[in-house]
Amino acid sequence: MKRAWLITLGAALAGAAAGYMYYSLVGCASGSCAITSSPVNSSLYGALMGGLLANSFAQKQPKAQD
């Protein structure tokens, strides 16, 4: 269980870095883009997408029977 959380957290951090890189390299010149006009927004969006992507591949563990 702990390993799955670490993988999700690592993917979220990688997604945040990718979101910031997208902001810095591509960005939005007009400032009207909701996600890419701010480094905070693009980093948070990247972290969310990275975490969701990694969590979608996580294996479900069976519940313990009493």
Query: CA 28, 30, 34, 39: dihedral to nearest 10 degrees?
Result: 50
Q: DSSP assignment, residue 56?
A: H
For 10-65, what is each residue's pLDDT tens digit? 999 999 999 999 999 988 878 788 888 889 999 999 999 999 999 888 777 677 67
For 53-62, what is each residue's pLDDT tens digit? 998 887 776 7
Alpha carbon separation from 2 to 5, 8, 12, 33, 64 (Å, rounded): 5, 10, 15, 37, 17
pTM: 0.80
Q: Answer whether residue 1 shows pLDDT above 70.
A: no
